[in-house]
Amino acid sequence: MTSATYQKRKDELEAYFDRTASAAWARLTSDAPVSGIRATVRAGRDAMRETLLSWLPEDLTGRRILDAGCGAGQLAIEAARRGADVVAVDLSQTLVNLAAERSEALTLPGSIQFRVGDMFNPGDSTFDHVVAMDSLIHYNLDDFEDGVRKLASFADNTVLFTFAPRTPLLSAMHAAGKLFPRSDRSPAICPHTAKEIGDRFTDRALLRSKRIKSGFYISMALEMAG
């Protein structure tokens, strides 16, 4: 992953999640009260995480999982609770620190190695399963395809990933976001249609999909053979 567009967006995401939005994401990924809009996002993310976890074997004992773009570590913790040995990677030092702090208080049958860095260079090259929940949604179609193919190269069995499906609501939200002062904007989501994604992976087996919508949270999950 060396394109100029990828590097620019990666730098924007690192700055956003490490500084601008770190407190908001810590709250969103906790049990703390949040606004109505953020509550719908939290509910949508919870449903998506449960969907992706349900696509993995129930017993993950001895399985190696890459959580690519782990954020505050919720998916990594649940996978380790089911016995997985997880490598959890994120660009944000702040979020990785938060995830590690939360996991330290738990007794988990599996293990988690939290790493700060590029999810496409996790430090290991072989996993049973790779999961990328909402960590590819900020990239244009070319970088998205390159990213999925890179992650799939690590997976012996399956790679699970999400994308933002292009809908009138998402398009309206994207346009409205441009009205905010630049300092208040989050990095833009890049919506894609299911056909665009399918056309990019005609050489791969797409095993199943599911769309999750909860208020302002709209995301599509796909499972691909590794």
Mean pLDDT over all residues of the chain? 91
CA distances from 120 to 32, 47, 65, 66, 141 (A): 32, 25, 14, 10, 16
Q: Is the pLDDT of residue 110 over 70?
A: yes
pTM: 0.93
Q: Is the pLDDT of residue 180 over 90?
A: no
